[in-house]
């Protein structure tokens, strides 16, 4: 790649000269440079990007660091003195930036060690080995470089230029009850920015931990992987809203836009919209006409209704049973004041869904439907309204009807962490699609960063599982370990780690021992019982498989659960091997019913097990052939040939070629998936 600064234009030379003239002024940033060059900030950003391939802030920092290098070579000043002389207010931040730019600390330059070491090594090497070997080494370096740069970590987290986090606003009022109002102002700013596709906006749960923090802007930005932060403080005094907001460029810890607002309460929505539009303009984010329409939309005309709505948000976002039960009556009071308040209807529907999403018996289904329909009636272009209706369809297992609502919700709010999370869940098991599952799991990690330990742990758990199902074993192990690092109490992480290790090396005994260890901690866990039984089944140890499977089946029936029905053919095979024919037949009948009900892309592979159990080899081979034609599937299906139930198919002449086709198609799809994710900036 050519050096973008090899042939400097007059524009770049002028910009560098102005930066050098203001070198000691740490406040001299993008806005100041634009002003001194008599051009708009957006034009400056575009022109610098075009000519240097750098953002404006990166360009300014590079000029400062180049001057620092020259000063360090003179050896007359300390690192601390130079850091302030080139406009860095923090010496530690200067050292960090310098190391990133040059690959070594400024202290090494000051001591002359970098230059002296390089010259000495080059001189001795040339004298001893001569140029022929240098040529060979150069070729080796080229080869190694190619290998290293092509072996990218699947989850390399690149900095996205237009990435932003809205930090919790500070309550400037002595009245603590005013906090919900200030939080509401922060929520509205966040919500409006989330509607802009050109921005990556970190979720509310990710920033909440910084409400009471002593961390500085650069450290927070580094943890959140963002380039911009929004800080604010405000209060309500009578009918007046007082709000101070500033947008900070993280790399320089410099405000690039700030404003003080003093508005009548009646103009609160105009104030919120103005904040979002000015922030977007300050970082040159592209806002489409449809996005602008969404931002300018007033949620309600009734200020009392809006006040009740704001009061409900804090408990609503806790996502606890107590919080949701406290939020619902407040949303209902908002609706009493404004019967057309779409957001309030949507949040009630979502609350009811979350209250019982893990319950067997559902009692709120009709309420979810009614509130979701009201939300859509009064605002059909609201992401919250669409998510609410999707939840109703998920509740009633009409998954294909839920999907377009979730897709549309993400279209209206491209940064909705709730929609992204649900789409990941959706493609995980409701309508399986490993490519989509991994894509949304990656998006979830980008939006939910540095959340509380439990949330972050489960975010990484989901990503690890998505990576495993797509065949990225090393990366899956990395993220399940991170999940455990965040929360050793994570319920599912040890189980997932056991199977990630199994996928890597096939050590079934170690895998089984790890799962049994977890089961001994909690013998009520049916997921562990089922998996232990399956591992013994794979080894054809039917006696031990039956020991665990029988406990699982009895507990499942006693609790009226319909879980793991897709495993019933294997369980039936174990029962049959143990001579329990009537119990085996009952399990197999249920599996046959499951196959009839299954409308997913995995129906054909389930029919392979069905026909194999019945001894219908040709029919099983035909379904296996049909399965080999689908676009994507989970990694575990590559191991199907080793299953006891499938062994009779091995003798069929078409079996081996079909299995090879399944294997080849999986790895080809994985390669295409990696390219696609790279193009979307997700890896």
DSSP alpha helix (H) spans, 268-341: 268-282, 289-296, 303-318, 321-337
C-alpha 230/C-alpha 221 separation (Å) is 11
Q: Is residue 347 part of a domain?
A: yes
The burial class, CB within 10 Å (0-12 / 13-18 / 19+), for 138 is: exposed
The last residue of one of the domains, among 597, 615, 636, is: 597
C-alpha 144/C-alpha 152 separation (Å) is 13
Please tell me whether residue 614 adopts helix, strand or coil conformation. Answer: helix
Let me know: does 591 contact 562? Beta carbons within 8 Å: no
Of 382, 383, 404, residue with least CA distance to 393: 404
Q: In terms of domains, do 445 and 544 share one?
A: no
* 356, 359, 360, 362 alpha-carbon torsion, rounded to 10°: -20
Q: What is the pTM of this model?
A: 0.63
Residue 102: which H helix or E strand, with range? helix 91-102
Structure-block tokens of residue 168: 């919790």
CATH number at residue 89: 1.10.10.60
Query: In this predicted model, what pLDDT tens digit does every residue of 630-664 receive, in sequence order?
Result: 988 999 999 998 899 999 999 999 999 999 999 99
Of 505, 459, 497, residue with least CA distance to 480: 497
Higher-pLDDT residue of 360, 402: 402
- Phi, psi dihedral angles at 609 (to 5 degrees): -65, -40
Q: In terms of domains, do 410 and 467 share one?
A: no
Of 546, 615, 622, residue with least CA distance to 587: 546
The residue to which tokens 């029936």 are assigned: 557
Contacts for 386 with CB less than 8 Å, ≥ 6 apart: 376, 405, 406, 408, 409, 412
Query: In this predicted model, what pLDDT tens digit does every residue of 155-167 receive, in sequence order?
Result: 444 444 689 999 9
Instruction: Please give the average per-residue pLDDT across 225-243, as a whole number.
Output: 88
Q: In terms of domains, do 168 and 251 share one?
A: yes
The pLDDT value recorded for residue 118 is 38
- Phi, psi dihedral angles at 385 (to 5 degrees): -60, -40
Q: In terms of domains, do 334 and 368 share one?
A: yes
> Which of 78-82, 448-452, 523-527, 606-610 is predicted with the least confidence, judged by mean pLDDT?
448-452
CATH number at residue 241: 3.40.50.10610
The last residue of one of the domains, among 111, 138, 153, is: 111
The last residue of one of the domains, among 406, 431, 456, is: 431
Q: Is residue 449 part of a domain?
A: yes
Higher-pLDDT residue of 327, 489: 327
What is each CA distance from 410 to 297, 384, 405, 679, in whole angstroms? 17, 10, 9, 19
What is each CA distance from 631 to 350, 362, 435, 634, in whole angstroms? 33, 35, 10, 11
Number of domains composing the chain: 6
C-alpha 408/C-alpha 37 separation (Å) is 43
Q: Is residue 143 part of a domain?
A: no
Instruction: Please give the average per-residue pLDDT across 663-682, as a whole number.
Output: 86
C-alpha 448/C-alpha 590 separation (Å) is 40
Domain that holds residue 490: 432-504
C-alpha 131/C-alpha 129 separation (Å) is 7
Q: Is residue 129 part of a domain?
A: no
The pLDDT value recorded for residue 119 is 38
Structure-block tokens of residue 87: 């406009």
CATH number at residue 492: 1.25.40.10
pLDDT-derived band at 136 (thresholds 50, 70, 90) equals: very low
Buried b (16+ CB within 10 A) or exposed e, 612-632: bbeeeeeebbbbbbebbebeb
pLDDT of residue 139 exceeding 90: no
Neighbours of 567 (CB within 10 A): 20
Q: In terms of domains, do 24 and 87 share one?
A: yes
The burial class, CB within 10 Å (0-12 / 13-18 / 19+), for 241 is: buried
The pLDDT value recorded for residue 140 is 31
Q: In terms of domains, do 499 and 541 share one?
A: no
Q: In terms of domains, do 207 and 323 share one?
A: no
């Amino acid at each position: 790649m050519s050096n973008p600064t090899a042939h400097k234009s007059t524009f770049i030379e002028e910009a560098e000269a102005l930066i050098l003239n203001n070198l000691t002024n740490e406040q001299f940033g993008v806005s100041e440079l634009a002003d001194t060059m008599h051009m708009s900030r957006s034009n400056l950003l575009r022109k610098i990007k075009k000519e240097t391939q750098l953002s404006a802030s990166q360009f300014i920092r590079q000029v400062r660091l180049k001057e620092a290098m020259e000063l360090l070579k003179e050896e007359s000043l300390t690192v601390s003195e130079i850091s302030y002389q080139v406009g860095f207010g923090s010496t530690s931040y200067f050292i960090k930036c310098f190391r990133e730019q040059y690959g070594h600390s400024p202290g090494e330059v000051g001591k002359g060690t970098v230059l002296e070491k390089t010259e000495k090594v080059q001189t001795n090497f040339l004298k001893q080995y001569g140029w022929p070997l240098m040529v060979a080494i150069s070729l080796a370096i080229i080869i190694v470089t190619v290998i290293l740069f092509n072996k990218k970590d699947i989850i390399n987290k690149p900095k996205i230029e237009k990435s932003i986090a809205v930090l919790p606003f500070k309550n400037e009022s002595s009245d603590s009850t005013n906090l919900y109002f200030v939080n509401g102002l922060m929520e509205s700013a966040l919500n409006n920015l989330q509607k802009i596709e050109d921005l990556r906006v970190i979720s509310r749960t990710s920033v909440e931990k910084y409400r009471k923090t002593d961390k500085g802007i650069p450290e927070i930005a580094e943890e959140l992987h963002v380039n911009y932060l929004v800080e604010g403080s405000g209060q309500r005094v009578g009918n007046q809203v007082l709000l101070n907001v500033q947008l900070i460029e993280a790399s320089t810890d410099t405000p690039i836009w700030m404003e003080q607002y003093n508005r009548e309460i009646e103009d609160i929505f105009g104030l919120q919209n103005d904040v979002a539009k000015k922030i977007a303009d300050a970082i040159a984010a592209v806002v489409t006409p449809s996005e602008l329409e969404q931002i300018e939309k007033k949620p309600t005309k009734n200020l009392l209704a809006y006040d009740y709505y704001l009061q409900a948000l804090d408990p609503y976002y806790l996502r606890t049973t107590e919080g949701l039960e406290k939020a619902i009556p407040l949303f209902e009071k908002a609706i009493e004041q404004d019967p057309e308040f779409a957001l309030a209807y949507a949040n009630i529907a979502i609350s009811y869904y979350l209250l019982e999403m893990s319950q067997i018996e559902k009692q709120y289904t009709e309420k979810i439907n009614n509130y979701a329909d009201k939300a859509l009636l009064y605002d059909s272009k609201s992401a919250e309204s669409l998510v609410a209706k999707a939840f109703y369809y998920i509740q009633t297992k009409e998954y294909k009807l839920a999907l377009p609502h979730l897709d549309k919700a993400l279209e209206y709010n491209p940064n909705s962490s709730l929609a992204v999370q649900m789409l990941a869940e959706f493609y995980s098991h409701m309508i399986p699609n490993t490519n989509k599952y991994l894509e949304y799991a990656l998006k979830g990690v980008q939006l939910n960063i540095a959340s509380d330990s439990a949330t972050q742990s489960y975010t990484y758990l989901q990503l690890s599982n998505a990576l495993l199902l797509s065949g990225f074993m090393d990366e899956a192990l990395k993220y399940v370990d991170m999940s455990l690092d965040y929360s050793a109490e994570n319920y599912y992480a040890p189980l997932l780690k056991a199977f990630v290790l199994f996928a890597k090396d096939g050590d079934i005994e170690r895998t089984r021992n790890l799962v049994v260890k977890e089961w001994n901690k909690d013998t009520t866990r049916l997921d562990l019982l089922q998996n232990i039984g399956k591992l013994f089944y794979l080894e054809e140890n039917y006696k031990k498989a039956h020991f665990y499977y029988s406990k699982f089946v009895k507990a499942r029936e006693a609790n009226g659960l319909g879980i793991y029905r897709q495993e019933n053919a294997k369980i039936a095979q174990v029962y049959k091997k143990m001579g329990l024919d009537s119990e085996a037949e009952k399990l197999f009948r249920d599996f046959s019913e499951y196959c009839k009900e299954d409308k997913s892309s995995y129906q054909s592979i389930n029919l392979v097990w069905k026909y194999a159990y019945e001894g219908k080899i040709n029919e099983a081979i035909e379904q296996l052939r049909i399965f080999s034609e689908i676009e994507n599937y989970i990694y575990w299906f590559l191991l199907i040939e080793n299953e006891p139930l499938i062994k009779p198919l091995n003798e069929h002449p078409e079996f081996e070629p079909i299995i090879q086709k399944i294997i080849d198609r999986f790895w080809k799809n994985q390669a295409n998936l990696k390219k696609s994710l790279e193009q979307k900036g997700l890896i």
